[in-house]
């Protein structure tokens, strides 16, 4: 029977399921509640709950119970079909999450029951209560990292880490400027700058409680927090109060990105990793000729694929895990929502005016 079932296994976002007609009483399957989309489109329309029959692990497979799964802007864009990497349909959303291994196949070497795991590949499909995976598609992480922090380990901390390491050789005291300073990535950039002794200038949108936000970000480690308007008029660098930035990180685009770029010192690099304002990045000719600025881009997905087995990737996860354990890194503000109420998250994640200030996380055990 096992052989027969294996041949009929379906793959939905890498988790291994069996067709419902085979899931009769004495078969080795467990039920999992799964969010699924069969076509790309607006999440509120195309997402639906389904009950999967997940095959119990054999050979190199492990069964994972998902605990928390965050919702990132990229998850929404993936469901919409607007993200460059498209999982085959039908697909289960969710690129990040933390789970617990609850069963292992006989030949699994790297994991055991009770281990905490995060995805080791893109598009694992974590918006489900349980899934059966090949063991190498999961990465064991120390239990001492908080569950929330672990659930967000793969995307935002790694993005902040790589952008600070890979484009400019930064020394202690060097300045990094960024927009979207209160974004999840932005807050991790601030904290890593503090750990590595870099000066951090964070640009945020103005709002009624701006002084509150400024003190929050300064408490995290930002040296200065400026609104877009204040950035335009600042003499922080002209007056030599602070060294001109060597690195600029841009997740906004448009006029905001241009103002950030203008603050870079000669030979500086601007790295674009998001386009929240949905406006292009423009670069003045003079910035290229007279300041020799470089304009680069970064995509974590591509970096992870290219460096899947690289030493740098393992070292990055080890260092980030250690910093979270030592409480030198903290998760950005978040709100945990029961999996069964995912609609609240989808509606808020689609609000284009932003200003939510929290990262949404699905609690997979409340389903």
Cα torsion for 92, 120, 66, 26, to the nearest 10°? Answer: 80
User: Using CA atoms, how far apart are residues 20 and 23, in angstroms rounded to an integer?
Assistant: 5
Q: Helix count (H) and strand count (E) of the chain? A: 13, 17
Give the residue with the Cβ less far from ligand NDP, 63 or 76. 76
Quick one: DSSP state of residue 96? -
Least distance between ligand NDP and beta carbon 281 (Å): 13
The region, left, alpha or beta by phi > 0 then psi within -120 to 50, assigned to residue 94 is left
Catalytic pick from 37, 83, 273, 334? 83
Measured from the CB atom, the residue of 56 and 205 that comes closer to ligand NDP is 205
Distance from C-alpha of 29 to C-alpha of 58, rounded to nearest angstrom = 11
Nearest approach, Cβ of residue 77 and ligand NDP (Å):
7
Torsion of CA 188, 99, 61, 88, to 10 degrees: -60
> Any idea what DSSP says for residue 1?
-
* Contacts with ligand NDP, residue ranges (CB under 6 A): 72-74, 155-156, 159, 180, 182-186, 204-205, 251-252, 256, 273-274, 276-277, 298-300, 354-355, 357, 359
Minimum CB–partner distance for residue 44 and ligand NDP (Å): 18
Catalytic annotation on 133? Answer: no
Shortest distance, CB of residue 185 to ligand NDP, whole angstroms? Answer: 4
CB burial string 228-250: b at 16+ within 10 A, e below: beebeebebbeeeebebbbbbbb
* Residues designated catalytic: 83
């Amino acid at each position: 029977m096992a052989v027969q079932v294996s041949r009929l296994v379906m793959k939905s976002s890498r988790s291994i399921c069996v067709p419902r007609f085979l899931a009769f009483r004495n078969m080795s399957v467990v039920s999992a509640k799964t969010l699924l989309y069969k076509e790309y489109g607006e999440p509120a329309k195309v997402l639906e709950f389904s009950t999967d029959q997940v095959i119990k692990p054999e050979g190199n497979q492990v069964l994972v119970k998902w605990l928390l799964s965050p919702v990132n802007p990229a998850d929404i864009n993936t469901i919409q079909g607007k993200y460059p990497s498209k999982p085959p349909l039908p697909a289960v959303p969710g690129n990040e999450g933390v789970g617990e291994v609850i069963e292992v196949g006989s030949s699994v070497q790297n994991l055991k029951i009770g281990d905490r795991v995060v995805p080791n590949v893109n598009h694992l499909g974590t918006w489900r209560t349980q899934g059966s995976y090949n063991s190498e598609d999961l990465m064991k992480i120390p239990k001492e990292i908080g569950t929330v922090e672990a659930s967000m380990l793969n995307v935002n901390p790694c993005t902040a880490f790589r952008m600070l390491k890979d484009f400019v050789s930064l020394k202690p005291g060097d300045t990094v400027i960024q927009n979207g300073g209160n974004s999840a990535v932005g807050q991790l950039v601030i904290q890593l700058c503090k750990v590595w002794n870099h000066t951090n200038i964070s640009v945020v949108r103005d709002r009624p409680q701006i002084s509150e936000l400024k003190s929050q970000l300064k408490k995290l480690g930002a040296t200065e927090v400026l609104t877009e308007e204040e950035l335009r008029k600042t003499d922080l660098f002209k007056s030599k109060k602070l060294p001109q930035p060597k690195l600029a990180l841009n997740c906004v685009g448009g006029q905001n990105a241009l103002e950030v770029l203008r603050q870079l010192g000669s030979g500086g690099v601007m790295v674009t990793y998001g386009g929240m304002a949905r406006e292009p990045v423009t670069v003045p000719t003079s910035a290229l000729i007279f300041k020799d600025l470089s304009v680069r881009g970064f995509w974590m997905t591509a970096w992870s694929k290219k460096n899947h087995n690289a030493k740098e990737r393992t070292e990055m996860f080890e260092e980030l895990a250690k910093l979270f354990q030592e409480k030198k890194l903290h998760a950005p503000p978040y709100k945990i929502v029961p999996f069964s109420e995912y609609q609240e998250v989808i509606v808020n994640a689609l609000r284009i005016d932003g200003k939510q200030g929290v990262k949404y996380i699905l609690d997979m055990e409340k389903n």
